């Protein structure tokens, strides 16, 4: 087991290193950020000074080594566009993304789990088809389309919901009380983006719930419970649901991260100041350190999560340990 | 525009109780010995009654906000408006003129342009209560690392601090542009940074929580999203009218529109384009065209004889083919003004392109076809790309439609902003081949000569024009110490550029902003906030008022 | 008879296992631990043993799918390990194999004709018409109509597939075919068909077989000689009839007891094996069979018996003799 | 040796095949297939079917000009509504956009772009991913380690982020979007295919080919690739939908197909503000087209998944 964990850890490190290298290379292919900041007609001395202060005048391998060694010390560098340390900006935005992701996750649960249960209980029925349709529709409508329509209907025509960003409450790093109030305030701002994002994921939720339920309902254990004369509603509510929710919940952590990562379009549409919008801004400005930082942080989260899942599965199922 | 500004300001003087700064004895006392250059610096208005700040103003911008914009030492030519919130300069552009006294009460430049002197107002303080002295002015100059810093350092011989209020800059050679760079718009060096605070918190700390001598105290910011400031009622000129200002970055036009309609925003910028009609139709909104600069087209490869654009008749045909009136109608609901120069009417020394100095370019596709035929292209030709300024892609397509009608066919090359900027800054190499048209706009401070230096001479950073006639005129301009002769030469160059069709102007771009009813004063008088010449964004901020 | 077609000289094959990512290898599996046998042209050698005894490794060694750790395999007088380039290709052409599972040995996405022709195309430069003619010939040889060449394997039953596999094995005029339990996965009724087919093909083509099985009875029909394998070693080699009539090694006797007697009247010493095959990672000292042998003596615990020839062609490794 | 009467077997087989064929036909997802066929036909025949050009504004009549601009002559009439609304006309049945171009014609040409980009992009991704997956699974050792580590790193990059990143490397263009999709999505295939190949490698027919001295490349080409095609097909059909959305999102964010080409996502981005002005048709029609295409691709993918790959059924 120790060896297995070690090997998995080594793989994760290699993956991260590759990720770092890919990002570093790709970002540098996207063009010259100095030209963006200095505009036409900037005086050459200033441009040179900017280039120097951003470390872009060094040969590529020096930039790379410097980048990696700073990373190892937890330093992501300074944003070109936002003039502050990347880490500070990222952690300022992360709570916003998590809030949106979490709300969207709740939406996807609220939509996916009941429909998933219904379609598992009544396979090939009208409910089954309707549920599948709702889920597939969520998967098939581009997020910006859903977002735009929502804004027009609920924001402009009906005027029920605010359309701009997350509202005034924000997490202030020095003040822990704001961390709590942040989660409970300005929920009206959250409704539309969370719905638009959550709908997309409800399809996956529905599928997992449905197949989990089907597996459990078909198991000997449930047959036994039924034989014992337990009423069907209790079978479903207490035994089947409980067991089939395990995969849904294990899936949840990953899903939440994926949501944080795919939310770019939604965040742009709703002007939600999350990590996605930050990345979009950074990309549109060739803000190398910011792009590197955000992508690496999201990659790091996924790698760590994958590692954890691998190790947990390794504990649960010894065969996996031997297979690789 | 200028006369209008004065009319409104005189009205203000009566209604709001703001008095024109009167010449005090100390202000008249000279600093430098010997003959002085004639300077056109306007006096500051200082409020007689200070008033109390109230209400909140929410402003929607169409771009992300860089915390670095609150640090004048790293100025790079964008978002000057933010300095007006937290910081103050010795002299700076104000509604009454491009050069207006602010922290300084007197400025002098010797006639040989080798010395410049300033005297500060008495009793100036930073927002933390510390005194603002000439030591801060000197320190700011020495530690400035933004645009043109090298130029400013190389010209400088030494800084002489006479006393806490008096400072003299000595230059190695005549420095004619000094005030253009020191007035707060050409560089950040004129904006005074508190040395004691900056040294204590460091660069990052200062950018995260800036502090200065301006009318508003920094409260909080979310990098790229929002900046909040609060009135500092100790500001020397007056107490700000608004208690709190939130500046928000909202890139999406529809979102800004929605923000105005739902009341989440009080002012929004860049309301040009598809939603302009809605802005105009909304009785709750007031809007203003706020013309910034003319659109123009350049022909990067025209200098090569093989280029079809080498022929002046072809370039003229391009100009004739554009239906400017219809374009203005489609793009801007008809408010854009077709214009005959590539330099804005608000720029110093500029030729007006509305028929007074230069004619409004006519629309004549038949003549365009004739010219093309005469140039050897009876059936027109395909050119490689049409590269529009980001993100005005619709406009580019409309212009291409016009060009296609006379036989000039091409595709839009849609670059994103950084790519476009990068190509522009590479000069001719940025647009390889010789069959490309680039569409550009540049509202730039510093007078017409800055735009000539940039766009019309061989060495210009973004210039595709290299004509011996212009070169010789420009050389004379650079050599001259006579301001009037310089102006004359600048105007002559503009005429050569336009009459040779080296640049084809289109129309003056309306950079429309919209204001809700919450912003005072009621009615159209609200536009007085934008009276500052050549500035797309309004300043100063302390004069703004909103309904509480 | 001239020199044998295949000679296996004291061949060993050891696999390292449990090596950590960084550390040294910890243990060896001695899958094949010094065996020798020969196969003549047109002859069938049966190789019998329980699963895990090293039969499959032996077949892989013969097929040159593995290289021996020690010892030598000679084919037509040449060391197989030394074969290079065209000679090695020639060996691959002349030595073919039929696997146990007919459902796994035919690629489901290839047409029968292509499956059979694959070795031909790989080894011989023939025009496509010649290839087709060869396929037709082979299909007829194993009892199909030529037009089945267009079909896919899933349209055939297990027995039919095994015949296709045989056709494929014979497609390049193989001299030796390794039959790796070719009938154990089939219904009993089909087995006889296949065995008969193999027999007739051998008669017609003078091909040699190495017939591997875990069941003595299956082997006895086809093979002239039979070798019995236990934990990587040969314990008894004899003419099939001789072995049948007079099994000497206790293990061979036990195997006979496990399979059906070939003549119901025949009375024989019955040995029932106890326990499992010991691990090849850590085989017992002395005679590998001693923990399960009813006749084990103290000597068996200490000393490994050598394979000695008791009568002409009948060799056995047991301290009893 | 008796010849088994395979002839009789084959007549039976023909009947069986016919029955099976009928069952398959009945079980086919008719609706998504019909929609996809329709879109494909429109895409192929767009230049013939489209009533107007994709780039040029529709030439207006005198009356239209008078009605809109009060002049007898105008270059085009923009923002005309669909034919059933007031001011619409049958000539431009779905209205015109803000540049006076016919919405229907642009949608038709847009189908072309969406299908070309999504299909070729996914195809290239599938080809690269399958090849690398097979190499990793079959060649093993360093091949496996290197390819799979790269795949893992690739998979940690969220697809849209990655696509945007790639698109800022090169100037936008149709084939660049294809390239981007290929570069983003190959890792999905290589992971799945590798697993499949690991299992296949242990199958006898692969071992047999190896023993027969068949070259590695031939084994990969003749034995492995055909046998992983089921998995690849299922993945392909599911990825096409994702590719359409990514293409639309890229175009919407301004990183995709450049104007004036009528990509659906771009059309929506360009007319984003029109929705607010009540010109819903400029936003809803392209949106509906995207949704329809992706929905039918997803439905087809689901169906394929159930029918081709029982292992994937519950995922």
Instruction: Please provide residue A85's backbone torsions phi and psi, each rounded to the nearest 5 degrees.
Output: -60, 135
Closest Cα in chain D to B279? D277
Kind of pairing, strands B513-515 and C314-316? unpaired
User: Which value does ipTM take for this structure?
Assistant: 0.76
Q: What is the arrangement of strands in the sheet containing B291-298, beginning at the earlier edge strand?
A: B337-338, B503-510, B291-298, B436-440, B381-387, B408-412
Helix (H) or strand (E) holding A105: helix A86-121
Q: Return mean pLDDT, chain C.
A: 79
Test C97 with D7 for CB contact under 8 angstroms.
Answer: no
pTM: 0.79
Banded pLDDT at C314 (limits 50, 70, 90): confident
Measured in angstroms, the CA of B409 and the nearest CA of chain D are apart by 12
Kindly report, residue by residue over C203-226, the tens digit of the pLDDT: 888 888 888 887 777 777 788 888
Question: Hey, is B497 helix, strand or coil?
Answer: helix
CB atoms within 10 A of CB D24: 10
Of D7, D13, D222, the CB nearest to C110: D222
**Contact criterion met (CB below 8 Å) for A94 and A166:** no
For position B6, what pLDDT does the model report? Answer: 44
Kindly report, residue by residue over D94-108, the tens digit of the pLDDT: 888 877 888 888 899
The answer to whether the peptide bond before residue B227 is cis (omega within 30 degrees of 0) is: no
**Contact criterion met (CB below 8 Å) for A98 and A91:** no
C157 touches D at CB < 8 Å: no
Q: Which of residues 225-244 of A touch B (CB under 8 A)?
A: none
Spell out the CATH class of D103-313. Answer: mainly alpha
Distance, CA of B356 to chain centre: 23
**Spatial distance between the Cα atoms of C320 and C236, rounded to a whole number of angstroms:** 13
- The mean pLDDT of D308-314, rounded to a whole number, is 48
For position B168, what pLDDT does the model report? Answer: 94
pLDDT value at A319 more than 70: no
DSSP class of residue D61? P
Contact partners of D by the rule of 3+ C-beta pairs under 8 A? A, B, C
For position D224, what pLDDT does the model report? Answer: 86
Test C118 with D227 for CB contact under 8 angstroms.
Answer: no
D218 touches C at CB < 8 Å: yes
D11 touches C at CB < 8 Å: no
Banded pLDDT at C17 (limits 50, 70, 90): low
Closest Cα in chain B to A152? B258
Where do the structural domains in chain A lie, given as residue ranges?
Answer: 88-284
Spell out the CATH class of A88-284. Answer: mainly alpha
**Contact criterion met (CB below 8 Å) for D268 and D252:** yes
Distance, CA of D209 to chain centre: 36
- Length of chain D measured in residues: 315
pLDDT value at A91 more than 90: no
Test D211 with C104 for CB contact under 8 angstroms.
Answer: no
**Spatial distance between the Cα atoms of B273 and B296, rounded to a whole number of angstroms:** 18
- Residues of chain A positioned with their CB less than 8 A from the CB of C20: 3
Test D7 with C89 for CB contact under 8 angstroms.
Answer: no
Test B224 with A281 for CB contact under 8 angstroms.
Answer: yes
Test A140 with D295 for CB contact under 8 angstroms.
Answer: yes
Residues in contact with A323: Cβ distance below 8 Å, sequence separation at least 6, in sequence order: none
Test D270 with B253 for CB contact under 8 angstroms.
Answer: no
- The mean pLDDT of C17-43, rounded to a whole number, is 70
Measured in angstroms, the CA of A114 and the nearest CA of chain B are apart by 34
pLDDT value at C245 more than 70: yes
Test D274 with B278 for CB contact under 8 angstroms.
Answer: no
Q: Return mean pLDDT, chain D.
A: 80
Which of A23-27, A87-91, B53-57 is most confident?
Answer: B53-57
C-beta contacts of D283-289 below 8 A and 24+ residues apart: D283/A145, D283/A148, D285/D94, D285/D103, D285/D107, D286/D107, D286/D110, D287/A141, D287/A142, D287/A145, D287/A148, D287/A149, D289/D107, D289/D110, D289/D111, D289/D114, D289/D264
DSSP class of residue A274? S
- Residues of chain C positioned with their CB less than 8 A from the CB of D227: 107-109
Interface of A with C (CB under 8 A): 3, 6-7, 10
Test B251 with A40 for CB contact under 8 angstroms.
Answer: no
Closest Cα in chain A to B63? A281
Burial of D6: CB neighbours in 10 Å, binned 0-12, 13-18, 19+: middle
**Spatial distance between the Cα atoms of D122 and D301, rounded to a whole number of angstroms:** 13
Instruction: Please provide residue B250's backbone torsions phi and psi, each rounded to the nearest 5 degrees.
Output: -130, 100
Of C100, C119, C148, the CB nearest to D6: C148
Count Cα atoms within 13 angstroms, Cβ side, for B186.
20
- Residues of chain D positioned with their CB less than 8 A from the CB of C148: 6
For position A41, what pLDDT does the model report? Answer: 59
A257 touches D at CB < 8 Å: no
- The mean pLDDT of A144-151, rounded to a whole number, is 84
Kindly report, residue by residue over A205-228, the tens digit of the pLDDT: 887 787 777 777 777 777 777 777
CB atoms within 10 A of CB B178: 20
Structure tokens that stand for A293 in this block: 């930082």
| Residues of chain A by 3-state class (helix, strand, coil), percent to 5 | 80, 0, 20
Chain D interface disruption, residue of B274, B420, B514, most D CBs within 10 A: B274
Of D6, D209, D227, the CB nearest to C144: D6
Give the end-to-end CA distance of chain C in Å, rounded to a whole number: 29
Measured in angstroms, the CA of C178 and the nearest CA of chain D are apart by 11
For position C21, what pLDDT does the model report? Answer: 45
Of B210, B218, B191, B234, nearest to B53 by C-alpha is B234
Structure tokens that stand for B502 in this block: 């080296």
**Spatial distance between the Cα atoms of C6 and C42, rounded to a whole number of angstroms:** 11
Instruction: Please provide residue B195's backbone torsions phi and psi, each rounded to the nearest 5 degrees.
Output: -60, -45
**Contact criterion met (CB below 8 Å) for D289 and D111:** yes
Domain range C6-316, its CATH number among 3.40.50.920, 3.40.50.300, 1.10.10.10, 3.30.9.10: 3.40.50.300
**Spatial distance between the Cα atoms of C194 and D286, rounded to a whole number of angstroms:** 65
Of A27, A145, A280, the CB nearest to D287: A145
Question: Do chains C and D meet with 3 or more Cβ pairs nearer than 8 Å?
Answer: yes
Instruction: Please provide residue B104's backbone torsions phi and psi, each rounded to the nearest 5 degrees.
Output: -85, 145
- Residues of chain D positioned with their CB less than 8 A from the CB of C96: 211-212
For position B137, what pLDDT does the model report? Answer: 93
Residues in contact with A113: Cβ distance below 8 Å, sequence separation at least 6, in sequence order: A205, A206, A209, A245, A248
Of A26, A132, A136, the CB nearest to D165: A26
Higher pLDDT, A323 or B289: B289
Chain C interface disruption, residue of D14, D145, D213, D233, most C CBs within 10 A: D213
- Residues of chain C positioned with their CB less than 8 A from the CB of D205: 104-107, 115
Measured in angstroms, the CA of D255 and the nearest CA of chain B are apart by 8
Contact partners of A by the rule of 3+ C-beta pairs under 8 A? B, C, D
Of B486, B492, B493, B502, nearest to B452 by C-alpha is B493
DSSP class of residue B512? -
Test B462 with A36 for CB contact under 8 angstroms.
Answer: no
The answer to whether the peptide bond before residue B276 is cis (omega within 30 degrees of 0) is: no
**Spatial distance between the Cα atoms of D306 and D309, rounded to a whole number of angstroms:** 6
Category of D115 on φ-ψ map: left (φ > 0), alpha (ψ -120 to 50) or beta = alpha
Q: How far, CA to CA in Å, does D216 sit from each of C61, C86, C90, C117, C297?
A: 20, 17, 17, 17, 52
Q: How far, CA to CA in Å, does B262 sit from each of A152, B257, D294?
A: 12, 9, 34
Structure tokens that stand for A130 in this block: 């309707």
Task: Collect the ranges in chain B with pLDDT lower than 50.
Answer: 1-25
DSSP class of residue B310? G
D99 touches B at CB < 8 Å: yes
Of B340, B336, B360, nearest to B350 by C-alpha is B340
For position B399, what pLDDT does the model report? Answer: 92
For position B12, what pLDDT does the model report? Answer: 42
3-class secondary structure for chain C?
CCCCCEEEEEEEEEEEECCCCCCCCCEEEEEEEEEEEEECCCCEEEEECCCCCCHHHHHHHHCCCCCCCEEEEEECCEEHHHCCHHHHHHHHHHEEEECCCCCCCCCCCCCHHHHHHHHHHHHCCCCHHHHHHHHHHHHHHCCCCHHHHHCCHHHCCHHHHHHHHHHHHCCCCCCEEEEECCCCCCCHHHHHHHHHHHHHHHHHHCCEEEEEECCHHHHHHHCCEEEEEECCEEEEEEEHHHHHHCCCCHHHHHHHHHCCCCCCCCCCCCCCCCCCCCCCCCCCCCCCCHHHCCCCCHHHHHCCCCCEEEECCEEECCCCC
For position D310, what pLDDT does the model report? Answer: 45
- Residues of chain A positioned with their CB less than 8 A from the CB of C21: 3, 6-7, 10
- Residues of chain D positioned with their CB less than 8 A from the CB of A303: 156
Of A41, A84, A163, the CB nearest to B204: A84
- Residues of chain B positioned with their CB less than 8 A from the CB of A165: 225, 248, 250
């Amino acid at each position: 087991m120790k060896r297995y964990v070690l090997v998995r850890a080594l793989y994760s490190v290699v993956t991260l290193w590759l990720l770092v290298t890919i990002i570093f290379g790709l970002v540098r292919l996207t063009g010259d950020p100095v030209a963006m900041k200095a505009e036409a007609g900037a005086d050459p001395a200033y441009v040179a000074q900017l280039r120097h202060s951003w470390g872009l005048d060094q040969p590529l391998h020096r930039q790379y080594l410097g980048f990696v060694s700073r990373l190892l010390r937890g330093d992501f560098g300074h944003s070109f566009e936002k003039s502050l340390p990347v880490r500070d900006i990222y952690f300022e935005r992360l709570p916003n993304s998590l809030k949106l992701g979490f709300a969207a996750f709740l939406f996807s649960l609220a939509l996916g789990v009941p429909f998933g249960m219904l379609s598992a209980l009544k396979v090939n029925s009208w409910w089954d088809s309707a549920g599948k349709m709702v889920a597939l529709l969520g998967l098939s409508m581009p997020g910006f389309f859903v977002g735009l329509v929502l804004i027009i209907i609920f924001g402009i025509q009906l005027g029920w919901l605010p359309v701009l960003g997350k509202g005034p409450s924000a997490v202030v790093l020095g003040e822990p009380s704001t961390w709590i109030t942040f989660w409970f305030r300005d929920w009206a701002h959250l409704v539309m983006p969370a719905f638009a994002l959550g709908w997309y994921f409800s399809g996956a939720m529905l599928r997992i719930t449905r197949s989990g339920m089907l597996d459990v309902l078909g198991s000997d254990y449930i047959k036994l419970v039924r034989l014992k004369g337990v009423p069907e509603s209790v079978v479903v509510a207490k035994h089947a649901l409980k067991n089939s929710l395990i995969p849904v919940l294990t899936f949840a952590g990953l899903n939440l991260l994926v949501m944080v990562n795919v939310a770019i379009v939604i965040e742009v549409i709703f002007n939600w100041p999350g990590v996605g919008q930050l990345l979009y801004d950074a990309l549109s400005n060739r803000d190398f350190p910011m792009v590197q930082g955000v992508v690496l942080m999201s990659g790091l989260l996924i790698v760590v999560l994958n590692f954890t899942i691998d190790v947990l599965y390794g504990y649960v199922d010894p065969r996996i340990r031997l297979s690789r | 525009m200028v006369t209008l500004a004065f009319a409104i300001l005189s009205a203000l003087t009566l209604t709001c109780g703001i008095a024109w700064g009167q010449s005090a004895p100390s202000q008249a006392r000279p600093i430098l010995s010997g003959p002085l250059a004639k300077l056109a610096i306007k006096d500051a208005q200082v409020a007689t009654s200070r008033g109390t700040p109230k209400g909140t103003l929410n402003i929607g911008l169409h771009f992300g906000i860089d915390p670095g914009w609150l640090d004048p030492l790293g100025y790079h030519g964008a978002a000057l408006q933010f300095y007006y919130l937290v910081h103050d300069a010795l002299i700076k552009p104000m509604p009454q003129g491009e050069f207006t006294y602010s922290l300084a009460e007197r400025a002098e430049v010797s006639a040989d342009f080798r010395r410049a002197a300033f005297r500060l107002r008495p009793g100036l303080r930073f927002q933390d209560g510390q005194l603002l002295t000439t030591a801060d002015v000197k320190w700011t100059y020495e530690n400035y690392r933004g645009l043109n810093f090298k130029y400013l350092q190389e010209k400088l011989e030494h800084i002489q601090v006479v006393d806490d209020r008096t400072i003299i800059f000595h230059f190695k050679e005549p420095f004619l542009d000094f005030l253009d760079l020191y007035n707060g718009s050409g560089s950040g060096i004129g904006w005074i940074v508190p040395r004691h605070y900056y040294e204590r918190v460091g660069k990052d700390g200062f950018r995260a929580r800036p502090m200065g001598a301006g009318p508003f105290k920094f409260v909080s910011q979310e990098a790229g999203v929002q900046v909040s400031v609060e009135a500092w009622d100790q500001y020397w000129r007056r107490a700000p009218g608004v208690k709190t200002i939130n500046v928000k970055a909202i890139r999406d036009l529809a979102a800004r529109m929605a923000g105005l309609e739902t009341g989440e925003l009080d002012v929004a910028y860049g309301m040009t384009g598809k939603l302009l009609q809605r802005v105009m139709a909304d009785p709750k909104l007031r809007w203003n065209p706020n013309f910034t600069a003319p659109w123009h087209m350049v022909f990067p490869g025209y200098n090569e004889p093989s280029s079809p654009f080498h022929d002046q008749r072809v370039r003229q045909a391009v100009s004739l083919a554009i239906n400017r009136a219809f374009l203005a109608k489609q793009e801007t609901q008809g408010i854009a003004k077709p214009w005959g120069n590539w330099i804005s009417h608000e720029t110093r020394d500029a030729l007006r392109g509305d028929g007074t100095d230069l004619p409004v370019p006519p629309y004549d596709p038949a003549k365009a076809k004739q010219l093309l035929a005469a140039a050897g292209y009876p059936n027109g030709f395909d050119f490689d790309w049409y590269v529009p300024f980001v993100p005005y892609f619709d406009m580019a397509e409309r212009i291409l439609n016009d060009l296609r009608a006379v036989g000039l066919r091409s595709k839009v090359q849609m670059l994103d902003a950084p790519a476009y900027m990068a190509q522009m800054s590479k000069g001719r190499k940025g647009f390889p081949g010789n069959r490309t048209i680039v569409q550009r706009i540049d509202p730039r401070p510093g007078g017409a000569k800055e735009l000539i230096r940039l766009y019309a001479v061989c060495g210009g950073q973004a210039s595709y024009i290299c004509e011996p006639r212009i070169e010789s005129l420009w050389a004379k301009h650079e050599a001259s110490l006579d301001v009037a002769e310089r102006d004359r030469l600048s105007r002559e160059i503009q005429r050569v550029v336009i009459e040779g069709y080296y640049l084809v102007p289109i129309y003056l771009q309306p950079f429309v902003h919209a204001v809700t009813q919450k912003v005072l004063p009621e009615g159209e008088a609200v536009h007085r906030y934008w009276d500052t010449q050549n500035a797309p964004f309004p300043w100063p901020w302390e004069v703004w008022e909103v309904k509480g | 008879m001239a020199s044998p077609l295949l000679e296996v000289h004291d061949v060993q094959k050891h696999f390292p296992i449990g090596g950590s990512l960084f550390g040294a290898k910890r243990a060896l599996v001695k899958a094949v631990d010094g065996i020798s046998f020969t196969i003549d042209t047109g002859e069938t050698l049966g190789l019998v043993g329980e699963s895990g005894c090293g039969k499959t490794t032996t077949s892989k060694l013969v097929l040159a799918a593995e290289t021996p750790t020690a010892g030598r395999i000679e084919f037509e007088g040449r060391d197989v390990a030394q074969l290079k380039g065209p000679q090695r290709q020639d060996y691959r052409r002349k030595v073919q194999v039929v696997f146990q599972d007919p459902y796994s040995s035919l690629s489901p996405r290839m047409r029968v004709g292509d499956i059979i022709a694959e070795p031909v195309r790989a080894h011989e430069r023939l025009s496509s018409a010649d290839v087709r003619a060869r396929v037709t010939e082979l299909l007829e040889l194993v009892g199909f109509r030529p037009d089945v060449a267009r079909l896919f394997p899933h349209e055939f039953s297990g027995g039919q597939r095994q015949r296709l596999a045989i056709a494929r094995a014979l497609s390049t005029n193989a001299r030796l075919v390794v039959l790796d339990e070719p009938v154990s996965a089939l219904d009993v009724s089909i087995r006889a068909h296949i065995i008969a087919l193999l027999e007739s093909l051998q008669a017609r083509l003078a091909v040699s077989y190495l017939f591997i099985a875990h069941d003595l009875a299956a082997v006895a029909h086809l093979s002239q000689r039979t070798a019995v394998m236990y934990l990587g070693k040969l314990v008894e080699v004899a003419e099939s009839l001789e072995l049948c009539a007079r099994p000497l090694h206790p293990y061979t006797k036990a195997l006979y007891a496990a399979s059906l007697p070939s003549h119901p009247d025949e009375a024989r010493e019955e040995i029932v094996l106890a326990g499992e095959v010991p691990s090849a990672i850590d085989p017992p000292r002395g005679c590998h069979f001693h923990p399960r042998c009813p006749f084990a003596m103290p000597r068996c615990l200490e000393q490994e018996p050598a394979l000695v020839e008791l009568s002409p062609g009948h060799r056995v490794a047991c301290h009893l003799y | 040796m008796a010849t088994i009467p395979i002839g009789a077997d084959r007549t039976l087989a023909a009947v069986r095949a016919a029955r099976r064929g009928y069952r398959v036909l009945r079980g086919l997802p008719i609706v998504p297939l019909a929609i996809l066929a329709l879109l494909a036909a429109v895409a192929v025949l767009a230049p013939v079917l489209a009533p107007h050009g994709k780039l040029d504004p529709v030439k207006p009549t005198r009356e239209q000009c008078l009605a809109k601009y009060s002049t007898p002559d105008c270059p085009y009439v923009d923002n005309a509504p669909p034919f059933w609304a007031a001011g619409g006309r049958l000539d431009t049945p779905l209205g015109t956009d803000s540049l006076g171009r016919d919405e229907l014609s642009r949608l038709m040409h847009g189908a072309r772009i969406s299908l070309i980009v999504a299909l070729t992009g996914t195809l290239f991704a599938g080809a690269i991913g399958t090849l690398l997956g097979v190499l990793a699974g079959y060649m093993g050792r360093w091949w496996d380690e290197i390819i799979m580590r790269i795949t893992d790193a690739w998979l940690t990059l969220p697809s849209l982020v990655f696509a945007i990143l790639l698109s800022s490397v090169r100037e936008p263009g149709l084939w660049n979007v294809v390239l981007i999709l290929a570069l983003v999505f190959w890792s999905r295939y290589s992971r799945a295919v590798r697993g499949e190949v690991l299992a296949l490698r242990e199958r006898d027919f692969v071992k047999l080919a190896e023993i027969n001295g068949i070259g590695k490349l031939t084994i990969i080409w003749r034995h492995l690739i055909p046998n992983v095609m089921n998995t690849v097909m299922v993945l392909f059909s599911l990825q096409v939908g994702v590719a359409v959305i990514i293409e639309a999102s890229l175009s919407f964010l301004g990183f995709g197909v450049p104007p004036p080409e009528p990509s659906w996502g771009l059309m929506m981005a360009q007319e984003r503000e029109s929705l607010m002005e009540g010109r819903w048709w400029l936003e809803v029609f392209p949106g509906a087209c995207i949704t329809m295409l992706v929905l039918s691709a997803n439905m087809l993918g689901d169906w394929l998944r159930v029918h081709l790959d029982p292992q994937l059924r519950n995922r």
